[in-house]
Amino acid sequence: MNRVLAMILAGGRGDRLSILSEKRAKPAVIFGGKYRIIDFTLSNCVNSGINRVAILTQYRPRSLNDHIGIGKPWDLDRTRGGVFLLQPFLGRNTSDWYRNTADAAYQNLSFVEDSNVQQVLILSGDHVYRMLYDELIAYHRHKGADLTLCTTTVPVEDARRFGIVTADSDGKIVEFLEKPRKPASNVISMGVYVFNPEILIERLQEDARDPKSTHDFGKDVIPSMVGRDKVFAFPFNDFWVDVGTVESYWQANMELIADLPRLNLYDSINPLLTKPQNRAPAKISPRAEVMRSLVCDGCIVNGLVRNSILSPGVVVDYGAVVEDSILFDDCYVGDSARIHRAILDKEVKVGAEACVGWGDDYTPNREEPGFLFTGITVVGKGARIPQGTRIGRNCKVYPDTEENHFLSDTIESGETVKGLD
């Protein structure tokens, strides 16, 4: 697999993740307590023997860049191959901010040409799945394909969020429709593409010259190749999810605490790799109760934790209850506080006897009714929840919100709290 270049698209804002992507790129969002979303794609590459990996970043890249560094956790700190962080730069006629996925790859075609590889693997940095790409590459070569894309199935009601794929009995794609309003099937593209480098360069150059193009792989490049080039589908039947919404992100995390999770984090042969944190072991006090949860290093639990995920350094104090929730690094839940069906970003402090996720009112969030409507309340990084405050469902608390920004001790469902400035 040394003749394969992987290019990971990791520059998206992730607006549908609400304030979880307010201060970081979507692939840098924490997942499963100790990981970042991009760890899945990076680990898939390394476990497949692909050691030349380019990561195309743009939106708020600092957290992502800090996480990846020189690639040591993935054994990508090497003199031949390795990891390359490719960001857009200004100042030349051929350079600008990445306008979309195809344009991001187009602006780095010189990197593709210099790599001297047989295939280019285009991947998304914000999908959660475990996959070895060996069979995919072998299938692509066996078919003599110009482009092979991975397909999977999703619930019919979710299909319109993706590209719909129709293939013949030999696997050749005969139709590709990007996000149709009324999908004819639930067979969708996973956003995993294998290109021969020559055809990739040629088609991206054509796309760049087209003034009507949006410069997107799904909307423009792939539909233009169907019926013209050899485009094949490779079915993938294991766990895969695009954690593009707050609900799908929460649900994918909750999958990890099932008795028999579909997503295996405990595969020692093909491990999920990440940047390690030097933390003390988790400590569970005699008065604590922990049930069906993931508790990372550095946590101190004195209260009750049920069906939840605690990232490193979380403290749950005496009498506190955390249920059906995800808490990022270094959150603090005060005495007798309650957290229910909520996501707390890093370093959130919840005062004693406060409640986050309260009541039976499921009014959608007024600012983001299309993103926050399933009862999940989201609290941004570094926010401070005052003692005794009750926050309802589908609420949003902006990052760095201080106690004096709460104008009432009850925040009704669907409301938003932000700093007064």
- Residue 318's pLDDT is 97
pTM higher than 0.85 for the full model?
Answer: yes
Question: CB neighbours (10 Å) of residue 87?
Answer: 15
pLDDT in tens, 19-67: 898 888 889 999 999 999 999 999 999 999 999 999 998 777 788 889 9
What is the structure's pLDDT at 95? 52
Q: Which residues of the chain have pLDDT under 50?
A: 91
- Look-up of token digits 């790859």: 105
pLDDT digits (tens, 9 = 90+) for 148-205: 999 999 999 889 989 999 999 999 999 999 999 999 899 999 999 999 999 999 999 9
Measure the CA–CA gap between 149 and 124, rounded to whole angstroms. 12
Return d(Cα 73, Cα 77) in angstroms, integer: 9
- If phi > 0 it is left, if psi is from -120 to 50 it is alpha, else beta; for residue 103 that is alpha
Per-residue model confidence (pLDDT) at position 2: 64
Distance CA 155, CA 72 (A): 38
147-153 and 187-195 beta bridge pairing: antiparallel
Q: What integer pLDDT is reported at residue 403 of this predicted model? A: 95
Q: For the chain, list the domains and their CATH numbers.
A: 4-255 (3.90.550.10), 283-417 (2.160.10.10)
Q: What is the spatial distance between Cα 316 and Cα 304, in angstroms, rounded to a whole number?
A: 8
E-strand ranges in 228-385 read 231-235, 240-242, 283-284, 289-291, 294-295, 300-301, 304-306, 309-310, 315-316, 321-323, 326-327, 332-333, 338-340, 342-344, 349-350, 355-356, 377-379, 384-385
Mean pLDDT for all residues in the chain: 93
Cα 174 to Cα 226: distance, rounded to the nearest angstrom: 6
Helix (H, G, I), strand (E, B) or coil at 253: helix
- List residues bridging with 309 in a β-sheet: 294, 326
